[in-house]
Amino acid sequence: MGLPTPDTRHISRPEYASVYEPAEDTYLLLDALENDRTELQKQQPTICVEIGSGSGCVAAFLGQLLDPLPTLIISTDINPAAVDATMETVARNPSRAVFLQCRTRFLQSLDSRLRGSIDILVFNPPYVVTPTAEIDSTDEASAWAGGKHGREVLDQLLPQIPQLLSPSGRFYLVVIEQNKPDDIIQALSVHGLSGERILSRKAGREHLSILRFIFNGA
């Protein structure tokens, strides 16, 4: 039987008005993670990170997916309301995991300590193609505005991925076709990471995919 989607009903409250509500992209990511559940449990991950946690739905789901493994799940977001919402979501959806929420850009201030240590890294970035001026705000637009090719936020993180992952680490990324997924796979292959589309779905006008990256030979 599938795992339940975490309870995020509190996101409808006004204080969370600027928080990204779980949508098709979120659910596709949950499905991809659930499809990999056996492998992920076998991997015995100790440090998992979600960048851009929004409602906290994915972080809470990861906790349930990895239960009963003792896991640290760190989530970050630039939107303070999203950090609060994530905190409430993980409290409402308990698991054995220990959760840590940080308001920061990507993994700023944590990255040097996490270097080579992240077993599961997850990012559902702002991927919509928009004018550059719309990216990196701290309001609702930060949830979806991705700038040119919808890649301007993601491209700030990509070069750090190979250094952040542990040798058996995995990186799960949500993309749409306009983000040029094959270019992303090519860019990370230069650093020894092998990437593939593991799940795709059409949602309205968006053609969503989940890319999964692991080190060659891992």
Ligand X SMILES: C[S@@+](CC[C@H](N)C(=O)[O-])C[C@H]1O[C@@H](n2cnc3c(N)ncnc32)[C@H](O)[C@@H]1O
List residues near ligand X by CB under 6 A: 20, 22, 26, 29, 51-55, 57-58, 76-79, 82, 105-106, 124, 126, 142-144, 153
**Residue closer to ligand X (CB basis): 77 or 119:** 77
Structure tokens at 201: 């779905």
- The residue with tokens 């596709």 is 28
Tell me whether residue 72 or residue 218 sits nearer to ligand X (CB atom). 72
Cβ proximity to ligand X, 82 vs 120, nearer residue: 82
Report, in Å, the least distance between residue 35 CB and ligand X: 16
Could you tell me the smallest distance in angstroms from the CB atom of residue 23 to ligand X?
7
Cβ closer to ligand X: 62 or 193?
62
Nearest approach, Cβ of residue 154 and ligand X (Å): 9
Report the C-alpha gap between 44 and 166 in whole angstroms. Answer: 12
Give the phi and the psi of residue 9 in degrees, each rounded to 5. Answer: -60, -25
For 212, the enclosing helix (H) or strand (E) is strand 206-215
Q: Burial-class residue 166 by CB neighbours within 10 Å (0-12, 13-18, 19+).
A: buried
DSSP helix/strand/coil, 174: strand
- At position 62, the amino acid (one-letter code) is L
CB of 11 to ligand X, least distance (A): 10
